[in-house]
């Protein structure tokens, strides 16, 4: 009976050690230690988040500019087709912009 208990406990111990090894490797891959270190140093966390916010804002501004430029380019192409409804719409936008520019001078 004692041999059976030793075999079970050694098998169980081997299984537990294997699982613990897999868990350790998974935690290392997930960089959990880096996250814990960030929470221990809130100033560094705020600094990193601040830089990330600046980068997101800059990316948003650049992206909006590019998308807006493509939109205006496409709108200009549509206007060159002289479609009645679209042409009137673009003409109205042009009048509004010119009035605003004239008023600001």
Residue 48 falls inside a structural domain: yes
According to the model, what pLDDT value does residue 68 have? Answer: 92
Mean pLDDT by 10 residues, the chain (105 residues): 64 89 86 82 92 97 95 82 77 90 85
Count of domains in the chain? 1
- pLDDT score recorded for residue 26: 87
pTM, two decimals, is 0.48
| Dihedral angle, C-alpha 21, 27, 28, 33, nearest 10 ° | -130
Is residue 11 in some structural domain? Answer: no
| Cα–Cα distance measured from residue 90 to residue 81, given in angstroms and rounded to the nearest whole number | 12
- Compute the distance between CA of residue 78 and CA of residue 70 in angstroms, rounded to an integer: 12
Range of the domain at 48: 31-104
């Amino acid at each position: 009976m004692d041999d059976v208990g030793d075999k079970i406990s050694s098998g169980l111990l081997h299984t537990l050690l294997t699982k613990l090894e897999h868990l350790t490797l998974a935690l290392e891959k997930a960089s959990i230690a880096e996250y814990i270190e960030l929470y221990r140093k809130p100033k560094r966390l705020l600094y990193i988040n601040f830089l990330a916010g600046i980068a997101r804002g800059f990316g948003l501004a650049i992206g909006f500019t590019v998308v807006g430029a493509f939109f205006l380019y496409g709108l200009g192409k549509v206007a060159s087709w002289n479609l009645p409804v679209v042409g009137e719409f673009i003409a109205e936008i042009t009048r509004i912009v010119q009035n605003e520019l004239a008023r600001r001078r």
